[in-house]
């Protein structure tokens, strides 16, 4: 007997479908899909959330010195003439960053194998490429989702039956994070 549903697709199509739906679930918090797809997505999503809950506090804060370009009031880089060339002026600042310990780094890489990269497009200027931002879903898992579920032992998602789809009569469900 198989350990997973094949969903009437080849393995590469099935993997892409499940990765896409897990990414949408983590990003939006809920998705509407068929019951069999939801049960497969639930397995993957709960594994990712469990991994995030386990490793959420497994980091150390490190202070580093970084060079940052000095900017004027308009937000443009300040330039200075040195030896006849215009050179950007840099200031040294101390930054505190989170440095993952090895087990958390491994968990992060396992999550990145499943989750697709997501771009946030603001609603006010949707056609502008410069306004889009890359969303870090792994950081969202560690920083927002995992702290909510520290007291739970599994059961991070719920499936709510909606009814049958009009076109083919497939049972549709709402899969959401609890």
Tens digit of pLDDT for each residue in 48-73? 999 999 999 999 999 999 999 999 98
Vertex 164, ends 163 and 167: CA angle to 5°? Answer: 145
State the pLDDT at residue 131.
Answer: 78
Q: Which residues contact 62 (CB under 8 A, 6 or more apart)?
A: 96, 97, 98, 99
Average pLDDT over residues 103-127: 91
* pTM score above 0.75: yes
Question: What domains lie within the chain, and their CATH numbers?
Answer: 11-57+101-177 (3.90.1030.10), 59-100 (no CATH)
State the pLDDT at residue 25.
Answer: 98
State the pLDDT at residue 129.
Answer: 75
Per-residue tokens: 156: 């991070």
State the pLDDT at residue 42.
Answer: 97
State the pLDDT at residue 121.
Answer: 85
Mean pLDDT, all residues of the chain? 93
pLDDT tier for residue 1 given thresholds of 50, 70 and 90: low
Over the stretch 82-112, which tens digit does the pLDDT of each residue have?
888 999 999 999 999 999 999 999 999 999 9
Q: Choose among 19, 68, 49: nearest CA to 146.
A: 49
State the pLDDT at residue 125.
Answer: 72
State the pLDDT at residue 91.
Answer: 92
Whether the per-residue pLDDT at 7 is higher than 70: the answer is: yes
């Amino acid at each position: 007997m198989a350990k997973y549903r094949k969903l009437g697709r080849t393995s590469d199509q099935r993997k892409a479908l499940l990765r896409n739906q897990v990414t949408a679930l983590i990003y939006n918090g809920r998705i509407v899909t068929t019951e069999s797809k939801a049960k497969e997505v639930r397995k993957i999503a709960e594994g990712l959330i469990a991994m995030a809950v386990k490793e959420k506090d497994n980091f150390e804060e490190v202070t580093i010195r970084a060079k940052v370009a000095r900017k004027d009031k308009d937000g443009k880089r300040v330039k200075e003439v040195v030896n006849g060339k215009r050179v950007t002026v840099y200031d040294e600042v101390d930054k505190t960053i989170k440095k993952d310990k090895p087990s958390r780094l491994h968990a992060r890489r396992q999550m990145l194998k499943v989750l697709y990269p997501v771009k946030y497009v603001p609603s006010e200027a949707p056609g502008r490429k410069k306004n889009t931002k890359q969303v870090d879903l792994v950081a969202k898992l560690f920083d927002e989702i995992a702290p909510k579920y520290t007291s739970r032992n599994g059961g991070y998602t719920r499936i709510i039956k909606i009814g049958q789809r009009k076109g083919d009569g497939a049972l549709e469900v709402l899969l959401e994070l609890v």
